[in-house]
Structures are given as structure tokens and as C-alpha cells.
Structure 1
Amino acid sequence: MNVQEAQNIRWSKNIIIADGDYIGRVAFDLIVNFERMLNRRIPAVDFSQWAVDIALDGRLKPGRHETQVVLLHDRKNPKLENFSPADYDNELNGQAFQDPQMGEFIINAIPTGEEASNKEDVLLDLLKTLLSHEEVRRIMIVPDGEDGQLLGSLRSTLRDVDDEQKHITLFTMQPVGGGNFKQEILGYSLLNAMGISASEIDNKIGNK
């Protein structure tokens, strides 16, 4: 799938849009910090588990759902760094997996970076397309949380969205003020998909 086809594609009720380059960087920082804290090797993020965790944090209840995961990435980056599986073309794009609790997840990767189609513009254009599709009921957005201009554009785009029609959840590492959307902390889903539990962190801190 490319972004030009987005208007005519059949979308699922549940959509996850994620900046692959950003979540790869955040995962790297978490791996480095928690390897030091827990004094053990931290594995790459289990992509399937992460997608399931995002869906749950996005208020999707267990059931036989179909959820589409759209990964935006810079064309020069062929892999979703610090995740497994990682190769966009050979392991992620066009693939799907079944979760026993949450149903089917369908994965698409969209390379960006050509003239007039930087990743931020593609994300905003895709979001506007999804907001116009009646069949889409739940959108979970994982943008570059360090891009203040993009966050401002997202606030503006989502200002008049009716929560009864579209359930929007924004995932960042720090709370974002002033938005007409639910918010969740991105780090929780990444830590869980790395196999790091809150009890392990608490035990380590308690033993210091």
C-alpha cells in the first residue's frame, strides 16, 4: 500500500498509525537504560505483543477484531530498529498475525521521504483520510512525540472529532496538553513487549 491508495482502500474499524523511526529510537533508549538498571540483556521489542498492547491501551476490548497497523518510515531506513521482526519489506509489510484475545492484525509499511511527501505530511494526510471513513471507529496514533509542530497539527486536526464516532488515542512518552483525544504513555507498551514487568522494576529499585 502507498499513501496515494489510502482514499480507496477498505479500512478496518481499528487502525494503528505509528512512526517506525521514532518508536525504534525510543525502544533503543529504553533498552540501554533498562539493561543498566536491571543488569541483564533486554531483547528487541516483540512487534506482535507491542501491537496488541497498543490496541488494549487504545480501549479496544478483547474480541474477534481486525486491526490494521500502518508503519510510516523514512525510505532510507529498511528496518524497524530494535524490534523483531524488523525488515519492512520482507517481514512486516503485507503480513498479518492472529492474537487469541484480540483477533487479526494486518501490517502495512509506507516508505516516505520523496519530494512533497515527508513523513509528517503523510501521517496527517492519512489521519484526515481515516477520519472521513465511516467504517473507521478507533484510531491509535504514535507520532514523533518530540516534534512540537507535528503535535500542534494533530491537536488542530483532531479538535472537532466526536468521540462517539471516532475513538482517538495518542501515544507519547510525555503527556500532551490541550488535545481532543485520549492519551497513553508509549513506554508502557514497549516495556511489556520487551518482557520487562513493573514488579521486576519495583524489586530492583527496592533492593537498592
Structure 2
Amino acid sequence: MDFQKKRVQFLAFVAAIIALSITAEKCRQLVGEKASSQSGKFTFLNCFDMTSGTLACSVKESVKLYCYNIRAAHVERARHDAMKSALVDALKQGMSQSASAKYAKKEGDKAAKLASRKARRIIGPILSSGWDFFEAVYYGGTLTEGFLRGSGTLFGTYAGGFLGDQRLGRFGYLVGSHMGSWIGGRMGLMLYDVANGVHFLLHSVQSLGSEVQKTSADYQEN
């Protein structure tokens, strides 16, 4: 039952992303190339152009991976130290070997959870978010585009890292953080394009209304 619920949630999430992607593409076509998101033009395929695109992707992903690895190593070190200390204390208290191992594992998990909470506030996600913000501005995007992309990257990194860590531990955190960072950044750009499209439509409707009122007033004067 729980598996079925998670499957439905996953399918709903995928459907929402697809719908958002289609809507964003229509909005980009509506407002034109100059008014749409600029940094989104740098796609994953640019990483294989063997020139500046490859260099930029390599540096960016290496820095992100290094920061995520620091976080994961910090958590594992806290877990190991707590387990070692708890095991020594348990043996001193005369507990059996199996009971001592269980107690040490429990204390290690507590320490890792606490260290993980503290580490969420450090370099990895923040650096990734800031990088995407400045990348968006560098490619000619507005500050709003940079903010939405950076916010999406930050949220996606946290969410992806948390879910990955829950399922596969340290490796899951590294993969989840990378995937979440990319997906979150793209969703931020899509939201920017949708907001641009909605603003364009509202402005067009207002302009049309003003034109109709002006035409009506000119007709009444004549």
C-alpha cells in the first residue's frame, strides 16, 4: 500500500514537471527569444562541445561534487566517532557484544542525523545556488531569472540530497544532490518563463482594452 502511494506520488510529480515544461515552452514562444530565459539556452549538450562549454561544465560539476563530498565525509566521521565512543562506554558498563553493537549503531545514527542537519546549512547547496544565479545573469538574464533559478537549485539540492541519503546513504546523497540541483534549476527557469508569459498576456489584454476604449471614445466624438 505504501509502495503504491509512493508510485502515485512519483507519477504525479513527473506529470507536473512535463506539464510545466510544455507550458514554459509555449510561453517562451509567446514572448519571443529576447524576453524568455537566457541561461536555459545552455543545455546539457553544450557540455560536450569540447570547448568552453565542456570546460565550464567540468569546473562547475567538480566544485559541486567536492562540496557534497565534504558534507558526506563530515556526516560519516561524526557517525564513526559516536559509534566508537558509545561502543567503549557500553563495554565498560558490562553490556554484551551484540547489545553493545546495537547501542553503538543507535548512537551513531543519532550523531549522523544531527551532523547532517548542521551540514545542510553549509557550502554545497549555497555554492551551487549562487553559481546558477550568477550564470543566469552572465548569460544576459534578469535578476528575477537568476533568483528563480538559484532558488530552484537550492531547493532541489536539499530535497534531492535528503531523499538520496534516506535510500542509499552517502552515495545516494551525492547522486541526489546533483540530480536535484539540475532539476530544481530547470524548474526555476520554467517558472520564470511561465510568469513572463502570464505577464505578457495580461499586458496584451490591458492594451487591447485601452485600444477599444480609445476607439469607442473617438467614435462617440464623431
> What TM-score do you get using the length of structure 1 for normalisation?
0.21
The one of the two structures with greater contact order (alpha-carbon pairs below 8 A, sep at least 6) is 1
Q: Decide which structure has the larger Cα Rg and report it.
A: 2
Greater per-residue helix proportion: 2
Greater per-residue strand proportion: 1
> What TM-score do you get using the length of structure 2 for normalisation?
0.20
